[in-house]
Structure 1
Amino acid sequence: MVKSLYSLLLTSLFLSVNCFAADWQAQIVNQFNSASIILQAPDGQTVFSHAPNKAMVPASILKIATADAVISTLGKGYRIPTKFYLTEDHYLGIKGSGDPTLVSESLASIAIQLKKYFSTHPPKDLKGFWFDTNFFGSQLKIHGQSHSNNPYDSSIGAIVANFNTIYIEKSHDGKIVSAEPQTPLTATAQQLAEKLSPGKHRINLGQNDKLTLLYFAELLQVFLKKEGINIPLHIVNKSIPKTSTQLFVHQSLPLSEIIRKLLAFSNNFIANQLLLILGSTQKGGPANLDKGRQALSEFLTETIGIDNFTLEEGSGLSRKNQFSARQMLNVLLHFKPYQDLLKTDQKVFQAKTGTLRGVSSYAGYILSPSGDDYPFVIMLKNPKRTSDRKKVADLLYKGMLETQDSPN
């Protein structure tokens, strides 16, 4: 009698678990039939999949692939150099390598470094700024990037300040100030803000290389003046003469910290700067999109072992990018040593979101109570709400818990 009751209890428990499994899986399939989804257990077994080999637009979860290729190839401690020179005819030479972290604080630090050098090597009157942007090639238009003022549409370049954007605040009486205390208001910022309505605005400097360099020079000029160094806004843009004296090399943040910022803020500018840097280190200079695409594609094929994908650029802006959930899962498996660079959501998801019109994606790792990590990929087409991806993720999480608790 006791054995019969025990068997009945086990059968009931087994049926209820299977009933729940059928329920959460059915919810996903019924509500998101056009999606590509996969969840894998730590032992490599597939917990759930729906059209995992279907090619879809990944949107910003593609940044995980770019991050993986760059950090695996260059190393987490890699730093991007920007070199400073003094030319024979007394220009301050600046040779860029695409550092995406040259922000106002960096320029203030550079001004202090230059002051230290010039305190022991007083120059004659400086004549202006000599920019060498030859590290990057020309015509670096990113597919999917528009000419809007949105920060995610900012253009890439060898020498760029503050992600190629300006942040200002305009009062109702027309007064214009910098919206960042660390960033001085320059003449270019003032001029671009004149026609804007009251409020805070992020201005994209677009693909105007001259304007990009002018703004960089204006900012550095202000910081140098604070250190007692005067330099006019005369700008030259060509190769640094070989007869120039190298003053010092400014190094970027470590690559691991750059990637952490890339993934946390979904910065398209940083993603494609890194794509070009990857291309130049693997294929030689000058850096361009073709070399970047080729280097990333080869990494995905030769190192990760995926093929039959379409890669247009490295940020996820382009709708020409085409990957399946299974392919992105393979990226996550390789990215595992660096998963802590992804931000944690709800204490259970270490993941990256992606959003384009008609596209909503989510990929990363579910952090289970047992301490194991379950890689997952969600790619939705034409969802009713952007939050639908989190709904699917919550269902995957609940299903993962039931899988762990179910009797073998």
Structure 2
Amino acid sequence: MPASSESRSYDAVIIGAGVIGAAIGMEMARAGYKTLNVDALPAAGYGPTSNSCAIIRVHYSTLDGTAMAYDGYFDWKDWPGYLGVADERGHAIFHHCGCLIMKTEQNKGLAAVLKHVEALDIPHEHWDADRIRQAIPGYDLKTFWPARRMEDPNFGEPSGGAIDGGVFFPTAGYISDPQLASHNLQRAAEAAGGSFLFNRKVVEIPVENGRVQGVVLDDGTRIAAPVVVNVAGPHSSQINKLVGADADMRITTKPLRQEVVHLDSPDGLNFEKDGIVVSDSDIACYIRPETGNHILVGSEDPECDPREVVDPDDYNRDLTDQAVTQAYRYAQRLPNVPVSQSPKGVVDLYDVTEDWIPIYDRSCIDGFYMAIGTSGNQFKNAGVAGRLMTALIGYVEGGGDQDGKPLAFQLKHLDRTIDTATFSRRREINPDSSFSVLG
């Protein structure tokens, strides 16, 4: 495209307008920054956010991750109040159905999860097998681990024993329209003075004397800013390379292809109305209700499932036998669920780190920050991530040494701080992680 003579200036440019990018734009604008979110796509939340399962849950494999999720729950619980502004498209709805996690051998009876939620006084209930079947009539609780591919001759064969209980979290549910949630955040950011620019790709990030100077767009527009925040989702590693921010990173990100299948509810079960979110590591699936009386089924990434790293601009967007495998895995629990060899569903990308815990951090380039590796398990934390990044940027720009003395970030809804070193680009791989979409 021909070069443009246009030039503008902002306090901060945020690359990306998915749910995390839009939340960062809103929180920074509310803190007084003159912000611009730039996105290569046509609208906020138009990329992987639009296909997010958008599950709001409070269980994580680390204490800081659990605290963040519980803090974020209160944003969603009063979503219109958190936004504080109207949206001509209406507000996204939080379906407050709760979440059940099966106690399995794989998650060691949820011992670590329970330790974290008890430390934070998060409401939860222990359900026995009868209570589970009451909540989901017809559920088969036989154990099937290890998870297998459907072509495995032993697929669907019980392994002996049965699941005898789980933990139910009433502080959980899902958002049925994640793109609308992103649009809501855009409108709230704009009400606070933030701006958004769509259908524009960042092609250059100038640096002088070790500090970013802003961004250059694909139409030649130069935007001056002393702060640039990478929230580019599956393109995050490409953006880092543009500016040389990957030079000192011990934790990196990559775009991972994912499939989610949508099943019809079996006859006699209105899962859209009566269903709950379920995480079941024995069959390596998570599920939630979906509009149209469907059941959405995703993979919890067992060893037998391929982890396909792809080019974020060129990958197979069609469902494969992975989706059929996930459908049949769930049919082990709910035998009457109809399974098609040509299922419905979505294919999109996660932006993941080696330990599936995100990076919320500065970089080795002054003024360049990262909120990346968030896909798959950070949708629920959008508001918290926005506040954390706003505080972290303020801390560093004010002279704080994030690498030497990381910010202790005060949560909004809990009387608790979290150690932002947990999300450092220079951390070691966290051995407490689930190393999966569960975080």
* Category of TM-score, reference length = shorter chain: under 0.3
- Give the number of the structure whose residues are more often helix, by fraction: 1
Q: Which has the larger radius of gyration?
A: 1
With the length of structure 1 as denominator, give the TM-score of the two structures: 0.23
With the length of structure 2 as denominator, give the TM-score of the two structures: 0.22
- Give the number of the structure whose residues are more often strand, by fraction: 2
